[in-house]
Amino acid sequence: MSASGQALLALSGGVGGAKLVLGLAGELPAEALHVLVNTGDDFEHLGLHISPDIDTLLYTLSGLSNRQQGWGLADESWNTMASLERLGGDTWFRLGDRDMATHLWRRQQLSRGDTISQVTAELARRLGVQVRVYPMSDDPVRTTVHTENGDLPFQHYFVREQCRPAVTGFSFDGISAARPNRDVARLLQEHQPSRIIICPSNPFVSVDPILQVPGLWLSLRDNPAPVILVSPIVAGLAIKGPAAKMMAELGVPVTAAGVARHYCERYPGLVDHFVIDESDAILADEITALGLDVAVTRTIMNSDEDKRRLARFTLDLAQEEA
């Protein structure tokens, strides 16, 4: 753990969050960056434990990810899936042949009694990732998406149904019994982080599960570190994933202001700074009225330089407070 005052804690889901985390990793010493990751998307499939957001983080940080699609591995092949399809097996969730190795290895480690935190730390080490990546909890939390067609486990909604059913709400099964990741609890108690960044991840299914682990959001709010939220909605669109569609279906305005309102209503007093895209500058007053300090910049991250630039902007933002 880094010296007091130097640690940065980021909260992240998958692809969108991983982009900013990669930018942060380029701007900070590896040991200073701690990432708390959603595991509500985790599920058991084909006898394997699948942790999509953790793997997206680790693959991105290790440089092994498929940079075009943002998830999965580069130079991937799909022969297991092709043969499984021939057998009439379940192939709606596509695991590449190289990605399969991660899952077989993880299965073995879990079978011998290791926690998800231990397995994640060891996987990071083996992939050469020095940034600390933590599952939000070692206890199983499973996101259920309530839709007009009934309840769906998250990956069924997200991958099998390709987010088609209109959502009516979410629940996080197991969350009331989930204990927060111990290393992050210790980081918050013993090593004052300089900043807490909520990455541009889906508020409903990536960040909410993390914040709703009992005790977690209050410990973030009550921590002196400034909390900086980066908007996942730009010009009324989600850069990646179903956030915008979900907001529309839930009757929330599909704007950065709608995102701000979501956080302010559910987690009053948590967010200090809200980073919005320059295309949304017109919303600044509306967001400021919610009590947030608004910062405007270009938030779309296409290139690595975009990621580092947004990371620097975010770090500079709270510089005087840190």
Residue 126 CA to its chain's centroid (Å): 22
Binding residues for its own copies, rule CB under 8 A, total: 32
Only one of the segments 93-101, 233-241, 294-302, 311-319 lies at the binding site for its own copies (rule: CB under 8 A); that segment is 93-101
Q: How far apart are CA 122 and CA 45, in angstroms?
A: 22
Nearer to its own copies among residue 54 and residue 247 (C-beta):
54
Told to check if 251 binds its own copies by CB under 8 A, we report no
Instruction: Give the residue among 121, 135, 136, 131 at the shortest CA–CA distance from 32.
Output: 131
Which of residues 89, 169, 215, 269 is near its own copies by CB under 8 A? Answer: 89
Nearer to its own copies among residue 160 and residue 186 (C-beta):
160
- CB hemisphere CA count around 66 (13 angstroms): 13
Told to check if 47 binds its own copies by CB under 8 A, we report yes
Q: How far is the CB of 68 from its own copies (least distance, A)?
A: 18
Residue 101, token pair as written in the block: 């190795």
The answer to whether residues 174 and 143 touch, using CB atoms and an 8 Å cutoff, is no
Which of residues 4, 77, 168, 319 is near its own copies by CB under 8 A? Answer: 77
Told to check if 81 binds its own copies by CB under 8 A, we report yes
Q: How far apart are CA 171 and CA 175, in angstroms?
A: 9
Q: Which of residues 97-116 bind its own copies (CB under 8 A)?
A: 97-102, 104-105, 107-108, 111
Q: How far apart are CA 162 and CA 94, in angstroms?
A: 13
Told to check if 86 binds its own copies by CB under 8 A, we report yes
Which of residues 82, 237, 281, 282 is near its own copies by CB under 8 A? Answer: 82
Sign of CA dihedral 144, 150, 155, 159: negative
Q: How far is the CB of 18 from its own copies (least distance, A)?
A: 20
Told to check if 74 binds its own copies by CB under 8 A, we report no
Q: How far is the CB of 57 from its own copies (least distance, A)?
A: 16
Told to check if 156 binds its own copies by CB under 8 A, we report no
Nearer to its own copies among residue 10 and residue 123 (C-beta):
123
Q: How far is the CB of 100 from its own copies (least distance, A)?
A: 5
Rg for the chain, CA atoms, rounded: 19
Query: Is 10 strand, coil or helix?
Result: strand
The answer to whether residues 200 and 239 touch, using CB atoms and an 8 Å cutoff, is yes
Residue 79, token pair as written in the block: 């022969």
CB atoms within 10 A of CB 89: 11
Nearer to its own copies among residue 106 and residue 132 (C-beta):
106
Told to check if 88 binds its own copies by CB under 8 A, we report yes
Alpha helices in 196-279 (DSSP H): 208-211, 216-221, 243-249, 256-266
Q: Which residues bind its own copies (CB under 8 A)?
A: 46-48, 73, 76-77, 79-84, 86-90, 96-102, 104-105, 107-108, 111, 123, 126-127
